[in-house]
Structure 1
Amino acid sequence: MTTELAESSRDVIDVMISYNPADVEHVRHLAGALRAEGLSVWFSDMDNPNLGDTGQAVSQCKVFVLVLSEKSACDPQCKDELALAYITDSSIFPVGLQRFRDLGPLLDCGMKLMLAKINWTFFVKPEDFEKNFPGLLSGIQNGIESSGDKSFPIDEDNPFQFLNSLSHVTVEETDENLQDFWPRNFGDKREVSWVNFKNAFVKDYGEEIEESYTEENLNQRFFVNVIYKDIFDLRKEIKRDMYDQFCDGNPQGDPHCFYSRLQEYARGLYAMKEVFNMDSTLRLTVVQNLGKFSTPAVVARLLEMMSDQDPNIRAVTAIALARSNARSKKSLSKLMKALEDEDRLVRESACFALGFLQAASAVEAIADRWRNDPISHVRTAASEALKMMDNEEARKCVHMTEVLTGEMQSLRTEESK
């Protein structure tokens, strides 16, 4: 096991470095300098790659450093790792080995969106390292000091909760006398039509979007669709309460709070789609690790993946839902349906998940698995799940299973005589 992999066993990693193997010598130099400052640093050695450890390191690190070159800018794994770091609320620091004018055209719209307005550090020439490393180190140290527990309490009734947890929001300097978007356009109205809302948004921000985002898939239409489909749930009438929920009351009095949070939501949306994508290099690891990030957006994607074609994904997703403490009716319903899955590992995982969540409504269904499942591992999982539940019905079922188990063992003993 290399030094880099050995450090992955720590519960929390200060810095995780993402890179393309072609740049490994630059990474080793950077890692050595950071370690000399007393920081724990993890990066996967190209001679001993381990995707599972990589995903775990991204999820656990306080600071995520992305070393960008012509190779890594087009590397799917670097993109996947960036997306996972974004979702799990790591402070992100891009380190460019070429000038931005050379790297920028190579970044796809998702990477550009996630790296927008983040302070870059450039090590283009050998002398740049001594000159620019102190600034990078200071930023990393600040990122480590400000990092907290990378898990969030869940409120499945608030789909925008994850926006409150992300640390990447940038508030522009604005005219303090300028009103917020809603009162600026609609005064005291408590409800406006979607058409009026859309027109007001395009009037205020359409030109800025076209100047800031030039990619084919990242334009004015993209942001309007996100507002209509994701934020306002295809409603023809937009209520002020829905707007306020998305803006979270705008406690800082930012007149552009809606647009700032819209951009943050779009970044999160891109990141979420990236890490759960069928082609993601970290997909299985992501599902395993994101269970502890109990945001409504993550839970919603996990629920979708309970219908994945791959039984391994369904099984791991069931456990991830339990780790996320997803106790809504929809979550429990998905897990109970999984008790009837054709794959025995999925049924087993669903039993453990429902037991961990102490889902009283699932006691009868789990007991049925114990009585009727043809696979002994599933029956054992069902029995253990019942023992996890602290309610009278579960205790009765546990007592009955113990009695019946004792009777069957007694019959086997008599038969062998």
Structure 2
Amino acid sequence: MVTKTTAVQNNENERQEGLPPMMPIQAVQNNENERQLVMLRPQAVQNNENEKLEGGSRRVPPRPRRQAVQNNENEKLVAKSQHVPPRPRRQAVQNNQNEKKEADTAKKGGQKALSRLDSSSEFGQDVMISYSHQDMDFMRKMRGSLEASGISVWVDEQGLGAGVDFLNKIGHAIVEAKVFLSLLSPNSVTSKYCKDELALAYISNKPIFPVAMATRDSLRKNMDFGMQLTLAPMEWVDFSDRDSFDVSFAALVHKFIAATKAGDESKAPPSKAKPKLERPKTRQNLNKMTRLNSNPMDDESDFWERAFKDAKDVPWSKFIEAFDSNYSSLLDGMQISSDSEHKDWLMTVLKREMTVDNNVLSRESYDEFCFVGGVKLPFWQRVHEQAVESYTMREVFQMDSSVRLSAIEDLAKYRSKAVVDALLDLLNDTDPNVRAVAAVTLAKSGNAEDQEVIKRLLKTLQDKDRLVRESGCIALGYLRAKEAVPQLVHLWRNDTISTVREAASVSLEKIGGEEAEKAIHMTKVLSEEIKLLMQQSMQKQT
């Protein structure tokens, strides 16, 4: 009998607990090990790690106040040795009453701009603030102003002691918050953590409010392509003039109110039962709360009609030429030139999304791309939204993402059609690690009745990368996709990689059913007979 690897054993333990088995990817396992090590490190080691953070942009959890605790303990011992009787608690009661009156007065005087969520929850605040640690003073001023206005705030300065897995907590807070507030400074726009948080907020369908702590032009100079792509068309709130803080803050709160009202009207509570997903005829917008701007030319006439008149289809090369001609200035604003790698990436995304066959684009495929939620949008708006969606999804689910694990857990709860569609796109990513993560995430976000998801996951079983095949096995097993049994049996018996065979075996057992059980039984019988014959052959040789 083959001894199973630790990763597969972990998968089996998770399967018995009713949890989706995670893929035994070495990179993911390393990530998990690092998270556990952070929790076990001594304080001195943790302090050294905090001091090494790049530019101070990563969040530094507050150090435990050991001295204060020790002083309290000493005072208790002194009081006990002197047998000092406890003082009456009248003064403490009076202080509590005074504090309560002050809190009531502040609450009445504050502007109750947003309706509070369940206060017993650690997350689910009105606003989640993303910021660089070097901008702590401004963040505290912003937080104080928001809370004084009756707006609850989650920020990673609160309640995150040393050794806590605070990156995961940040991911949960983003998904559960009503509004995402991004404090943009020369420090934050170059922070990997701030960029990951922005990407997660976008795919979580959050209203995003960029707060500019410096001039827009100065901030854009330091932004990479992806962050500029995401933020450029959004409406920023200017806080570059510190003397006008109150004026800018009033405008910000007004935008909060409008955004949360719109979200509350359209938001339905997530169902615990898996809904029956039907593949929509048109795509669903990944972030309905953040509408990107269109091109004025597209508002006057359709791009296809301007460029190709009544043509039913055009060569892909001709389409690219017309695209460059019509949108060159907008592409330059997105840091995309005709010879840049970003341009190649964008055209690859559009070619995939418009299902270009044999390098020919049909008018029908073009129109289908422009329709979102049953409404035809201007072409440039669709291009920009699709580019942001593709970038943010990849940013969140790539292997070095700081929010990837929390995204896999949290986004699965909502089973959004838009998220599922975007994950299906990631199955075609050039990075096998991204394809593998997408397969596992689809298992948690998708539904066994969604035939498009099952069909695409079945293709992962033929992937050249063994980690992708392994993840596909795990995902199909979690969804209990009976259609996958023949291919899983084939992998179990024939794949050259042992971990893929073991993942296929685990999935077959999870799927169950007569066909799977028969295949498992037959293979085990044959394996035992072969093993017996080999033993007999060895005995004859001796």
TM-score by length of 1: 0.72
2:510 maps to 1:385:
yes
Distance in 2, Cα, partners of 1:8 & 1:22: 30
Residue type matched to 1:117 in 2?
Answer: P
Distance in 1, Cα, partners of 2:123 & 2:291: 27
Change (3 A) 1:171 1:66: closer
1:196 is aligned to 318
* Contact 2:298–2:380 (Cα < 8 Å) also in 1: no
Residue type matched to 1:329 in 2?
Answer: K
Which residue, out of 282, 291, 294, partners 2:403?
A: 282
2:445 maps to 1:320:
no
Structure 1 window deviating more from structure 2 (174-183 vs 29-38): it is 174-183
Distance in 2, Cα, partners of 1:192 & 1:213: 26
Change (3 A) 1:203 1:96: closer
> Where do 1:166-177 residues align within 5 Å?
166-172=288-294, 174=296
* Contact 1:162–1:297 (Cα < 8 Å) also in 2: no
Which residue, out of 139, 147, 154, partners 2:255?
A: 139
1:329 is aligned to 455
Count of aligned residue pairs for this structure pair: 381
Which residue, out of 221, 227, 240, partners 2:363?
A: 240
1:294-314 CA-partner distances (Å, limit 9, x unpaired):
3322233267699539xxx95
Residue type matched to 1:196 in 2?
Answer: K
1:218-269 CA-partner distances (Å, limit 9, x unpaired):
8766655543455344742211111011111897676xx1111111111222
2:306 is aligned to 184
Change (3 A) 1:23 1:60: same
2:150 maps to 1:25:
no
2:429 maps to 1:308:
no
Residue type matched to 2:424 in 1?
Answer: V
**What are the ranges of 5 or more consecutive residues in structure 1 without an aligned counterpart?**
401-417
> Could you say what secondary structure the match of 1:117 adopts?
coil
> Could you say what secondary structure the match of 1:163 adopts?
coil
* Contact 2:130–2:182 (Cα < 8 Å) also in 1: yes
Distance in 1, Cα, partners of 2:279 & 2:361: 21
Distance in 2, Cα, partners of 1:169 & 1:318: 29
Identity fraction in percent: 29
Change (3 A) 1:138 1:392: farther
2:203 maps to 1:87:
yes
Change (3 A) 1:286 1:17: same
Q: Pairwise CA RMSD of aligned residues?
A: 4.7
Return the offset for 1:150: 9.3
> Where do 1:1-400 residues align within 5 Å?
9=121, 12-45=124-157, 48=162, 50-147=166-263, 148=267, 161-163=283-285, 165-172=287-294, 174=296, 178-210=300-332, 212-214=333-335, 217=340, 223-224=346-347, 226-228=349-351, 230-233=353-356, 235-248=358-371, 257-291=378-412, 292-293=415-416, 294-301=419-426, 308=433, 319-325=440-446, 327-332=453-458, 334=460, 353-354=475-476, 356-362=478-484, 385-386=510-511
Distance in 2, Cα, partners of 1:360 & 1:260: 40
Structure 1 window deviating more from structure 2 (227-236 vs 85-94): it is 227-236
Distance in 2, Cα, partners of 1:227 & 1:38: 44
Instruction: Name the larger-Rg structure.
Output: 2
Distance in 1, Cα, partners of 2:276 & 2:504: 32
> Could you say what secondary structure the match of 2:183 adopts?
strand
Return the offset for 1:90: 1.1
Distance in 1, Cα, partners of 2:199 & 2:237: 19
Return the offset for 1:199: 2.7
Change (3 A) 1:317 1:266: closer
Residue type matched to 1:295 in 2?
Answer: V
Return the offset for 1:103: 1.7
Return the offset for 1:290: 4.0
* Contact 2:126–2:151 (Cα < 8 Å) also in 1: yes
Structure 1 window deviating more from structure 2 (70-79 vs 9-18): it is 9-18
> Could you say what secondary structure the match of 2:285 adopts?
helix
1:55-77 CA-partner distances (Å, limit 9, x unpaired):
12222323111111221111110
Structure 1 window deviating more from structure 2 (232-241 vs 326-335): it is 326-335
Residue type matched to 2:301 in 1?
Answer: Q
Distance in 1, Cα, partners of 2:295 & 2:380: 13
Change (3 A) 1:146 1:129: same
Change (3 A) 1:360 1:224: closer
* Contact 1:122–1:128 (Cα < 8 Å) also in 2: no
1:320-348 CA-partner distances (Å, limit 9, x unpaired):
222221542231454799xxx899xx78x
Return the offset for 1:136: 0.7
1:249-293 CA-partner distances (Å, limit 9, x unpaired):
897676xx1111111111222222322333322233333344444
TM-score by length of 2: 0.57
Return the offset for 1:43: 1.5
Distance in 1, Cα, partners of 2:205 & 2:317: 35
